[in-house]
Structure 1
Amino acid sequence: MSLVLNTNISSLQAQNNLTASSSSLSTATEDLSSGLKINSAADNAAGYAISQRFQTQIGGLSQASQNASDAINLAQTAGSGLSQITSNLQSIRDLAVQAANGTYQASDRSAINTSVQQYLSEITRIANQTTFNGTNVLNGSTSSLSFQIGANVGQAINVQLGQGVTSSQMGQVSEVSTGDISGAFLNASGASGASMSLSGLSITGADGTSFTFSGSVTASSAQDVADAINAAGIDGVSAAVNASGGINIYSTGELAVNGSAVTGASAASAASGGFANLTSGAIAFGASGVGSAASGLAATGSAYTAGNVIQASGSLNGGDVLTVDDANQLISRVDAALASVSTFSSTLGAVQNRFQSAISTLSAQQTNLTSSQSSIQDTDFAAETAKLSQSQVLQQAGISVLATANSEPQNILKLLQ
């Protein structure tokens, strides 16, 4: 090896190696102090881009989970209001059942009606004042709300809130009211006690299913007819004798009353071959008086012809219990309202379960993405501390070697002595 003065190759090599070991030591120190092995894009350009994309998704999932929690809180707020409305509806129904009892006088029903009106007002107040962060959730003013439950656009759940539950928005029922049908139960001689078959009487309930009475079902009074309709268990349909001696039929949905002639199993039928006139080719409730003894037919009142469909209408608003008929109608309207509130409550309960499921899914996604991000950017302390020790030793050795290399030119002085 030549001995030169102007160029110290050994020193240059030692400097390069010392620079490399110093850089490695600096990197190890930064990684250990930050806990990250990618502290900037320069450390690992591809890894940095991937970890940032993961971080974007993780942040979005975390916020989406909070959004779902807010949605659950909103549903619980609405559910609490519905619970109170249900309690008030039950109280109204109890009072209506009480008022429908014939032992009460008009003044008694007026006193009962005072309480009914207060409950109706309270239902409307609850519906109008139940809000979540300024958004009303029970009076139908908010048609729907969209809850972002994902990190990306379009990952949302829509909750329908358009169903209002004020007293004016619930209790729609269909109603068929008849006149006096007592004449339908008189025989040809005008005496009471005749009975008729309800065979052919068909009523379509709220679920669209028609129920047709069999020939074995007979009635000897208007109350028997009402009892038979109630005993049939037709969806959403109920019946009661009205103050005129006729029948009121109520339905929570569309009400269709139709059928063939209902013949009477009475002396009138046997004597003349006619029929007690509950129907005249179609259901024709409203018979009054007695027909001629020769024909055995009772006079016919207002007819509801075959296939006639009466739409649900009205509401709880304005309902009262001042008469037995009013009380019976209010009972039917409250039943319809309770069905509406129950459906709304069930929907909100199902929505809460759905959001809870979403939170669980989001949590799992967030955990998995965080794990993937960690494998890319987090420091392995066991490996990094070993690298730190190695860098420290190399730096110390490099300094020592550099000092030796820098002293080599002094050997030239010995040659000049």
Structure 2
Amino acid sequence: MSIQGLSGSAFGLNTHYQQHRSNLAKSVSRLASGDRFVNAGDGNAAELSISQRFRHRIRSADASTTSIQTAQAFLDTADSYSQTVTNILQRMVEIASSSTDGVINDPDRVALQDEFASLKHEITEMTRQNTFFGKQTIGREGMLSYDDNSKRMTYWQTTGAEQGQIERDFSSTALDSEQKLIGFDPTEAYTMSRDGKSVLFMGTVAGDGAGVLRAKRYDIETHTVYNGTDLFATGDTLHVDEIGQLRVNGSGTVYDVDLSSLARTATMVTDIRTGTEFTAYDGSVIYSRTADSAITTADPNVGPGTALTGALVFGVGVDHTFSGTGGFVAEESAPGSIRVIDSRTGNETTLAIGAGTSVNNIQFNADGDRIYYTNQDTNGIHYINVGTDANDNVVLTAGAKVVQGVNNSSFNGLELGGSTAGSSVKYVVAQDAPSVLSYEAIDLSLYNLRLADDRVDTQANAAIALQEVRDAQNRLSAQRAKIGAMASRFKFVLSSHRSYIANMVGVESQIRDVDLAEESTRYTSEQVQMQAAQSVLAQYNTLKGNVLRLLGA
């Protein structure tokens, strides 16, 4: 045998040995990991690509499962708070029922009224404060303001939390997504819709004359503006009531305005002072009457309005506001001072914010227990607490700052609406393609339950309150039904996701997972062949050494 032949055979044996060694290492990796595709070059490239797509879908669905479980926790929290409100309403029924008893007299009802008022206050605090990771659960009221610095509409919860911004320029020349003029003017009336999905405002339309405005609606999701056809004037005011109905004080007449067409559909009252604020609640309009400036309530289905107070004249340019039910009226009676009148009793009081303090944009919240305002000296939004004592005296106490602005251009106007765009909680659900399930927080405020002005201090008032609390229980049940309906939907979505994940894992496993029996056989075969090659190679190396020793001898 030649030396060259011996070396060539040894090289060939070494090649086989290294190949079996490499195959054995791959087999060990597959057995250890359970994965056919330890390296990108292993197996069929098309199968690897398909497997990766399945893994992406599985992980997306896993993330969605977590999102759905979070949604269920949110709904459980909301339902728990709703149950507490249910218990409170039941106690209020008992109190109102006791107060209707003809045996007790009005002085004896003072204690009942105190407890009744305390329970109402607790409902208000729950709707305002009870949140889930900052998201409102059983309340929806929010604040809206225009920021002259960013030219954007900004909104918050009334606690100052969950700040959001409408992602569109609202300057005088701004265009919507369809390149139509938005026509927003922050010096004119604007507010948020009850569902928090639109900004409603009095704005301009290209081609209209000076001082001419129209009712407009800006859809926050589509960034599209819709214009009404009816003409209004500079200084006209608007209001959205508890059921979402838009009304406009158009030069001394209050009109119903359809939210879809933005057209006038009905006339509510015809003797409101031009340019003044008003409120509408439970079918009635509460406003300042032209003839004598008295605060008046009128139900167009019943007859002429009834004066609630004597003359209350708001000066030109003086901020004034009504609570959601019209129970209170407030104005900036002097620079830095806010005057509040109880429209039921005519009692009033004034709170001095501070001599020389620049107070702007005073606004009642819907429940009527707070007035929010912008303090131009601190560049912030503050509030004061409003209530009455046992003798029906109006009581005002300074609250706190809830939002800090950058400068005195941070808040051009301030509106409190029935909702904010942040009241809708969205959960992304992904299987083959992402989709969004949206849950809108229920509203258990006194305003929405129609209990803001109820009292049990007299037998007659208690009888009215008893019926209205029972009606509120029905409204609460309807609201809780929304929670139940959404919880049921999430339950089935979660079940569907788990089935989907199980099926995807099964298919992906067939492509990707190692067949242990086959791979174990391959491992044993490669191990035997490697050991055989190693043994033969060792013998060749010994033979080569013997030949070299002979040549050396």
Question: Hey, what's the Cα distance between the residues in 2 that align with 1:145 and 1:412?
Answer: 85
Change (3 A) 1:412 1:96: closer
1:338 aligns with 2:480: no
- Look up the equivalent residue of 1:379 and give its one-letter code: V
Report Cα offsets for 1:344-397 as digits up to 9, x if no partner: 111112222221222222111112222222222222222222111111111122
Aligned pairs (5 A) from 1:323-362: 323-362=458-497
Query: What SS does structure 2 have at the residue aligned with 1:157?
Result: strand
- Look up the equivalent residue of 1:36 and give its one-letter code: D
Aligned pairs (5 A) from 1:11-22: 11-22=10-21
Query: What SS does structure 1 have at the residue aligned with 2:427?
Result: strand
Query: Paired residue for 1:392, among 527, 530, 534?
Result: 527
Kept in 1: contact 2:136–2:423 (CA 8 A)? no
1:165 aligns with 2:465: no
Question: Hey, what's the Cα distance between the residues in 1 that align with 2:432 and 2:131?
Answer: 28
Shift of residue 14 of structure 1? 2.8
- Look up the equivalent residue of 1:39 and give its one-letter code: V
Single out whichever of 150-159 and 328-337 deviates more from structure 2.
Answer: 150-159
Runs of 4+ aligned residues of structure 1 deviating over 6 Å after TM superposition are 408-414
Question: Hey, what's the Cα distance between the residues in 2 that align with 1:324 and 1:59?
Answer: 63
Query: Paired residue for 2:425, among 145, 155, 160?
Result: 145
Single out whichever of 151-160 and 3-12 deviates more from structure 2.
Answer: 3-12
Instruction: Return the TM-score normalized by structure 1.
Output: 0.59
Report Cα offsets for 1:211-249 as digits up to 9, x if no partner: xxxxxxxxxxxxxxxxxxxxxxxxxxxxxxxxxxxxxxx
Instruction: Return the TM-score normalized by structure 2.
Output: 0.45
Which residue number corresponds to residue 27 of structure 1?
Answer: 26
Query: What SS does structure 1 have at the residue aligned with 2:446?
Result: coil
Question: Hey, what's the Cα distance between the residues in 2 that align with 1:166 and 1:413?
Answer: 104
Which residue number corresponds to residue 67 of structure 1?
Answer: 67
- Look up the equivalent residue of 1:43 and give its one-letter code: D
Question: Hey, what's the Cα distance between the residues in 1 that align with 2:480 and 2:444?
Answer: 11
Question: Hey, what's the Cα distance between the residues in 2 that align with 1:86 and 1:371?
Answer: 47
Shift of residue 152 of structure 1? 5.7
Shift of residue 30 of structure 1? 1.6
Question: Hey, what's the Cα distance between the residues in 2 that align with 1:362 and 1:393?
Answer: 47
Query: What SS does structure 2 have at the residue aligned with 1:156?
Result: strand
1:135 aligns with 2:270: no
Kept in 1: contact 2:99–2:109 (CA 8 A)? yes
Report Cα offsets for 1:91-136 as digits up to 9, x if no partner: 1122222222333322123332122111111111222221101112
Which residue number corresponds to residue 35 of structure 2?
Answer: 36
Change (3 A) 1:413 1:69: closer
1:373 aligns with 2:508: yes
Question: Hey, what's the Cα distance between the residues in 1 that align with 2:445 and 2:547?
Answer: 105
Question: Hey, what's the Cα distance between the residues in 2 that align with 1:52 and 1:111?
Answer: 70
Question: Hey, what's the Cα distance between the residues in 1 that align with 2:430 and 2:469?
Answer: 40
Shift of residue 70 of structure 1? 0.9
Single out whichever of 52-61 and 341-350 deviates more from structure 2.
Answer: 52-61
Kept in 2: contact 1:38–1:47 (CA 8 A)? no
Higher helix share: 1
- Look up the equivalent residue of 1:368 and give its one-letter code: N
Shift of residue 59 of structure 1? 1.6
- Look up the equivalent residue of 1:146 and give its one-letter code: K
Identity rate, percent: 24
Shift of residue 18 of structure 1? 2.3
Which residue number corresponds to residue 6 of structure 1?
Answer: 4
Change (3 A) 1:108 1:21: same
Kept in 1: contact 2:75–2:483 (CA 8 A)? yes
Kept in 2: contact 1:5–1:409 (CA 8 A)? no
Question: Hey, what's the Cα distance between the residues in 2 that align with 1:59 and 1:126?
Answer: 38
Which residue number corresponds to residue 230 of structure 1?
Answer: none
Aligned pairs (5 A) from 1:91-106: 91-106=91-106
Kept in 1: contact 2:54–2:508 (CA 8 A)? yes
- Look up the equivalent residue of 1:325 and give its one-letter code: A
- Look up the equivalent residue of 2:89 and give its one-letter code: L
Which residue number corresponds to residue 160 of structure 2?
Answer: none
Question: Hey, what's the Cα distance between the residues in 2 that align with 1:330 and 1:148?
Answer: 43
1:88 aligns with 2:82: no
Higher relative contact order (CA 8 A, sep 6+): 1
Aligned pairs (5 A) from 1:285-304: none
Question: Hey, what's the Cα distance between the residues in 2 that align with 1:366 and 1:154?
Answer: 15
- Look up the equivalent residue of 2:125 and give its one-letter code: R
Shift of residue 10 of structure 1? 3.8
Query: What SS does structure 1 have at the residue aligned with 2:40?
Result: coil
Which residue number corresponds to residue 115 of structure 1?
Answer: 115
- Largest Rg, 1 or 2: 1
Kept in 2: contact 1:92–1:116 (CA 8 A)? yes
Question: Hey, what's the Cα distance between the residues in 2 that align with 1:413 and 1:98?
Answer: 121
Query: What SS does structure 2 have at the residue aligned with 1:149?
Result: strand
Number of residue pairs aligned between Structure 1 and Structure 2 = 269
Which residue number corresponds to residue 154 of structure 1?
Answer: 434
- Look up the equivalent residue of 1:374 and give its one-letter code: S
Question: Hey, what's the Cα distance between the residues in 1 that align with 2:535 and 2:480?
Answer: 81
Question: Hey, what's the Cα distance between the residues in 2 that align with 1:35 and 1:375?
Answer: 12
Shift of residue 75 of structure 1? 0.7
Which residue number corresponds to residue 126 of structure 2?
Answer: 126
Report Cα offsets for 1:49-68 as digits up to 9, x if no partner: 22222222222222211111
Single out whichever of 341-350 and 404-413 deviates more from structure 2.
Answer: 404-413
Question: Hey, what's the Cα distance between the residues in 2 that align with 1:349 and 1:381?
Answer: 48
Change (3 A) 1:413 1:117: closer
Kept in 2: contact 1:77–1:130 (CA 8 A)? no
Question: Hey, what's the Cα distance between the residues in 2 that align with 1:121 and 1:365?
Answer: 47
Kept in 2: contact 1:95–1:116 (CA 8 A)? yes
Question: Hey, what's the Cα distance between the residues in 1 that align with 2:545 and 2:2?
Answer: 7
Kept in 2: contact 1:320–1:326 (CA 8 A)? yes
Query: What SS does structure 1 have at the residue aligned with 2:437?
Result: strand
Shift of residue 323 of structure 1? 2.9
Question: Hey, what's the Cα distance between the residues in 1 that align with 2:109 and 2:535?
Answer: 109
Change (3 A) 1:381 1:154: closer
Single out whichever of 146-155 and 54-63 deviates more from structure 2.
Answer: 146-155
Kept in 2: contact 1:58–1:366 (CA 8 A)? yes
Query: What SS does structure 2 have at the residue aligned with 1:168?
Result: helix
Question: Hey, what's the Cα distance between the residues in 2 that align with 1:413 and 1:66?
Answer: 74
CA RMSD, 1 decimal: 2.8
- Look up the equivalent residue of 1:82 and give its one-letter code: S
